[in-house]
Amino acid sequence: MLRRFCLYGFLKNQRYFEPFLILALLDKGLSYFTIGLLIAFREVCINLLEVPSGSVADVYGRRRALIVSFAAYAASFLVFATADGLPLLALAMFLFAIGEAFRSGTHKALIFAWLRQQDRLSERTRVYGYTRSWSQIGSAVSVVIAAVLVFAIGDYEWVFLLSTVPCVLNVVNFLGYPQELDAPSRGSVALSVVLRHTRDALRTAAREPRLRRLMLESMCFEGVFDAVKGYLQPALNALATSAAVAVGIAISGQQSTAALVGVVYLGLHLLAAAASRNAYRVEERAGGLERGAGMMWRIMAATYAVAAMAGYIAAVAVLVAALVALHVLQSLWRPVIISRFDAHSDESVGATVLSIESQSQRVATMIVAPLIGLAVDTLRAAGAGEFWPVGAVGLLLALPFVIWRAPQPLATQTPARQISVHDP
């Protein structure tokens, strides 16, 4: 099954449009603020669907939920490729939101269910980090293909169209997953069962102090990262343009950007793959999940500070380096935060709790993305250092978690009470 889990991650990240999404939307005539609004719309749609979709996965079957997810992804990419106005782009974002809602948390719950069946729960961080590293390897392969396409064709349409093929291949992969990885049947599968399951999972997440803290951490780490990560693309575009002019290369701006995006994103994803695969070492060397998370918060705050300063003085190369570092740090962080969530929730609500985690981070993204976009547009019009808000917002939201640490690592605490939908 590890091979199938790794194949899922590899195929999932064959999104050839991803390194060029912001540039493709700018090419369609959108402003940073409008792009921010589209991202916020996507996050609102995901939030409306997130927890119910997790409950559907827990009650009706996680494999079925994943098949629905990747069918929606394929439809979204087709619309993105042909969209020529804001309404169609909003439709594409909505279809993408369906895919994200039915996927997020669901496949992680399948992995943890398999680990329980294999009596390997102690390897949560290591196994999830290993499978996630294959997602980053997939991204590395994807960006090379995407860069070649954009360089050769000079059209963003094909990077969307070709992204539908891996979606179909992943559906075939899901058909080979064993049925026992689905959640245990609850008998009735009426809508009332799904709604009750959702209510109970939300109640446990709200009542458990450690889960509440983890939700806040996810909002301020993952949510803000999702809002700022796309700014690596215009930063690379600015760097590629200035470099091409400086050395007198006779290629178009789009070609020089495609070449630089390919090189930088390739290195980024290879580093991120290594980070995911070795995330468990952070836990081991720090002395537990909580201490490892605290160390990463401090590193992230420092990196955002560098990004803010680089954006303010228009040191684009330094800004690119800081944004690449944030991508790598997020790959270290993700296996740790997911393992922390799984340690404090019951398997019966596994997909739902992880969907709530995804939902909490998206709340931050849908608030932060338009605000940063508006700030960048305003600074660009004023001729000031336009990208410094990208780092400043991240630093502001990281500082509380640098100061507000857990009183002691989980390894020395009394094990958390297992949470179940049957708890009073």
The mean-pLDDT minimum among 156-160, 203-207, 224-228, 387-391 falls in 203-207
| Distance (Å, whole) CA 19 – CA 254 | 13
| Segments in 179-288 forming alpha helices (H) | 191-207, 209-218, 224-228, 232-247, 253-277, 279-286
Which residue type, as a one-letter code, is found at position 286?
Answer: A
pLDDT, tens digit, for every residue of 328-338?
898 888 888 87
**Domain assignment present for 421:** no
Q: Mean pLDDT: which of 167-181, 207-221, 340-354, 406-420 is highest?
A: 167-181
**Domain assignment present for 415:** no
**Domain assignment present for 216:** yes
Domains in the chain, number: 1
Q: Does the predicted TM-score (pTM) go above 0.95?
A: no
pLDDT-derived band of residue 289, with 50, 70 and 90 as boundaries? confident
- pLDDT of 215 > 90? The answer is no
- pLDDT of 179 > 70? The answer is yes
**Domain assignment present for 423:** no
> What pLDDT is attached to residue 51?
63
Does residue 293 or residue 375 have the better pLDDT?
375
pLDDT, tens digit, for every residue of 414-423?
333 333 333 3
- C-alpha distance across the termini of the chain, in Å: 36
Would you state the structure tokens that stand for residue 264, as one six-digit string?
Answer: 């930088």
User: With pLDDT > 90 as the criterion, what percentage of the chain qualifies?
Assistant: 21
| Maximum alpha-carbon separation in the chain | 70
> What pLDDT is attached to residue 187?
47
pLDDT, tens digit, for every residue of 42-73?
988 887 887 667 667 766 777 888 888 999 99
Q: Mean pLDDT: which of 14-23, 198-207, 284-293 is highest?
A: 14-23
**Domain assignment present for 148:** yes
Mean pLDDT score, 163-190:
77
> What pLDDT is attached to residue 295?
86
Could you identify the residue written with the tokens 């069946």? 117
Instruction: Check: CB of residue 36 under 8 Å from CB of residue 373.
Output: yes
**Domain assignment present for 187:** no
pLDDT-derived band of residue 198, with 50, 70 and 90 as boundaries? low
> What pLDDT is attached to residue 194?
57
Does residue 190 or residue 291 have the better pLDDT?
291
pLDDT, tens digit, for every residue of 308-317?
999 998 898 9
> What pLDDT is attached to residue 94?
95
Instruction: Check: CB of residue 365 under 8 Å from CB of residue 100.
Output: no
HSE (CB half, 13 Å, CA atoms) of 213?
A: 15
HSE (CB half, 13 Å, CA atoms) of 294?
A: 16
Instruction: Check: CB of residue 421 under 8 Å from CB of residue 204.
Output: yes
pLDDT-derived band of residue 143, with 50, 70 and 90 as boundaries? confident
φ/ψ region of 287 (left if φ > 0, alpha if ψ in -120 to 50, else beta) reads: left
**Domain assignment present for 174:** yes
pLDDT, tens digit, for every residue of 68-111?
899 999 999 999 998 888 999 999 999 999 998 888 767 777 88
Instruction: Check: CB of residue 368 under 8 Å from CB of residue 39.
Output: no
- pLDDT of 189 > 70? The answer is no
Residue 119 is part of a domain; what is its CATH number? Answer: 1.20.1250.20
**Domain assignment present for 183:** no
User: How high does pLDDT run on average in the chain?
Assistant: 80
> What pLDDT is attached to residue 410?
38
pLDDT, tens digit, for every residue of 396-405?
988 988 887 6
Helices 350-382 and 106-117: crossing angle, nearest 10°?
140
Range(s) of the domain holding residue 340: 2-178+196-406
> What pLDDT is attached to residue 416?
36
